């Protein structure tokens, strides 16, 4: 469960009240409006503040005239500005999609060119900055593009060359190992399980070290998620004792992920023949507030286990526990 973890920080977002946000927008443009209008026509005022079809003087004119406008005039102005916004939003969306597609194309070209430089006997070898830039391109492409095996081989070549640079910091080592894990995880049919395990283990070891130096609660969560990913890989690799250790350790870094980490632990216990202990953990997770997410994860996990050729009778037991818990929840 949770076989992928992307190295990003989770930040909380506090949404300001609509009128406070609008007031700040008006203030930044040096626009004034009557309080009664602000309460009564907040959408229209926001559209006036946002439009590019009026200059500052025109915006201020309409804001000042709002109390004097008839309902029909307000309705018409609202329709015009709404239509304008919809057209601009559509253009912005189209531009964003085209820009994103171009970024994907260019990142692939960058990866292919960097691989050519590494393979060439004549060209100067890429330096550390170029290699790390290549890994950034790889991370972006893995997130957004379609990878064939030929391109994945080039990514592996770049990752190996980056990891061969002895000047990397611990953070750069950890990030590159994680990117390498993601490359191997993209290959179909679990063909690179040992490589995934090796890179992820190195990433976990380095992240533990970095965490000791930082002692940052946000980084604790990253280490916990990496350990969860490693525990799942170890279940797939049938190293069930390691999977249990890693699940337990993940919880020591971040107790809030216990519901998810215990699923990996339950998998390991189940394949070790400790079905009663495993069932208790499965049911704890299936009774949690994130039950639907757990069910979806278990369904994907059992599909993975079938593809790997793990013990069919154990897989069927996991599926039975999931089905029974889902059925009870619907009653």
Kindly write down the DSSP assignment for every residue of 160-174, as one continuous string.
HHHHT-TT--HHHHH
Interval 242-265: pLDDT, tens: 999 999 999 999 999 999 999 999
Q: How far apart are CA 209 and CA 223, in angstroms?
A: 10
Query: What is the pLDDT confidence band of residue 4, given thresholds at 50, 70 and 90?
Result: very low
Burial of 100 (0-12, 13-18, 19+ CB in 10 A): exposed
**Inside any domain, residue 10:** no
Name the residue range of residue 47's domain.
20-69
**Inside any domain, residue 267:** yes
Interval 90-143: pLDDT, tens: 999 999 999 999 999 999 999 999 999 999 988 788 999 999 999 999 999 999
Q: Are 237 and 268 a contacting pair, CB within 8 Å?
A: no
Number of domains the chain is built from: 2
**Inside any domain, residue 175:** no
Q: Are 5 and 196 a contacting pair, CB within 8 Å?
A: no
DSSP three-state, residue 70: coil
**Inside any domain, residue 24:** yes
**Inside any domain, residue 226:** no
Q: How far apart are CA 203 and CA 197, in angstroms?
A: 10
Of the residues 69, 84, 103, which one is the last residue of a structural domain? 69
* Kind plus residue range of the DSSP H or E element containing 2: none
**Inside any domain, residue 308:** yes
- Which residues are CB-contacts of 222 (< 8 A; sequence separation ≥ 6)? 5, 7, 9, 207, 211
**Inside any domain, residue 173:** no
- The pTM of the full predicted model, rounded to 2 decimals, is 0.78
The average pLDDT across 60-74 equals 92
Q: Identify the pLDDT of residue 2.
A: 52
**Inside any domain, residue 174:** no
Share of the chain above pLDDT 90, in %: 81
């Amino acid at each position: 469960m949770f076989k992928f973890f992307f190295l990003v920080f989770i930040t909380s977002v506090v949404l300001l009240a609509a009128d406070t946000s609008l007031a700040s927008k008006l203030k930044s443009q040096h626009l004034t409006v009557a309080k009664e209008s602000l309460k009564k026509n907040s959408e229209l005022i926001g559209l006036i503040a946002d439009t590019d079809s009026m200059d500052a003087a025109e915006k201020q004119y309409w804001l000042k005239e709002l109390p004097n406008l008839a309902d029909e005039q307000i309705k018409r102005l609202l329709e015009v500005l709404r239509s304008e916004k919809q057209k601009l939003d559509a253009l912005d969306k189209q531009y964003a999609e085209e820009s994103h597609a171009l970024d994907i194309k260019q990142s692939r070209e960058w990866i292919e060119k960097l691989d050519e430089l590494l393979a060439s006997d004549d060209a100067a070898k890429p330096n550390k900055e170029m290699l790390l830039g290549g890994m950034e391109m790889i991370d972006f492409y893995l997130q957004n593009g379609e990878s064939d095996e030929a391109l994945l081989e080039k990514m592996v070549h770049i990752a190996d060359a980056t990891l061969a640079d002895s000047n990397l910091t611990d953070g750069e080592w950890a990030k590159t190992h994680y990117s390498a894990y993601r490359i191997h995880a993209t290959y179909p049919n679990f063909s690179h399980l040992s490589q995934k395990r090796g890179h992820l283990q190195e990433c976990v070891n380095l992240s533990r070290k970095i965490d000791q130096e930082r002692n940052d609660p946000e980084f604790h969560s990253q280490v916990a998620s990496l350990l969860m990913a490693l525990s799942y890989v170890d279940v797939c690799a049938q190293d069930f004792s390691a999977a249990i250790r890693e699940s337990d350790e993940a919880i020591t870094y971040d107790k809030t992920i216990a519901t998810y980490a215990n699923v990996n632990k339950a998998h390991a216990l189940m394949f070790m023949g400790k079905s009663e202990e495993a069932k208790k953990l499965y049911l704890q997770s299936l009774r949690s507030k994130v039950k639907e997410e757990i069910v979806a994860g278990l369904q994907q996990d059992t599909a993975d286990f079938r593809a790997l050729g793990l013990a069919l009778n154990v897989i069927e037991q996991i599926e039975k526990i999931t089905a029974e818990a889902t059925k009870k929840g619907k009653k």
